Amino acid sequence: MKSYRRELWFDTRDRREFINITPDVTDCLRESGVREGLVLVNAMHITASVFINDDESGLHQDYEDWLESLAPHEPISHYRHNRTGEDNGDAHLKRQIMGREVVVAITGGRLDFGPWEQIFYGEFDGGRRKRVLIKIIGD
How far from 101 is each of 74, 77, 133, CA to CA, in Å? Answer: 27, 29, 9
pTM (2 decimals)? Answer: 0.95
pLDDT for res 15: 93
Interior angle at CA 46, CA 43 and CA 47, nearest 5:
90
Residue 47 DSSP SS3: coil
For helices 57-70 and 89-98, give the axis angle rounded to 10 degrees: 130
User: What structural domains does the chain harbor?
Assistant: 2-61+100-138 (2.60.120.460)
* Span 87-110, pLDDT tens digits: 999 999 999 999 999 999 999 999
Query: Cis peptide before 72, with omega less than 30 degrees from 0?
Result: no
Q: Using pLDDT thresholds of 50, 70 and 90, give the confidence band for residue 44.
A: very high
CA dihedral 79, 84, 90, 95 (to 10 degrees): -130
Mean pLDDT, range 39-44, rounded to an integer? 98
Which stretches does DSSP call E strand in the chain? 2-11, 17-20, 37-43, 48-53, 101-107, 110-111, 118-123, 129-138
Q: Using pLDDT thresholds of 50, 70 and 90, give the confidence band for residue 54.
A: very high
Distance of alpha carbon 20 from the chain centroid = 9
The mean pLDDT of the chain is 96
Q: What percent of the chain has pLDDT over 90?
A: 98
Mean pLDDT, range 46-71, rounded to an integer? 97
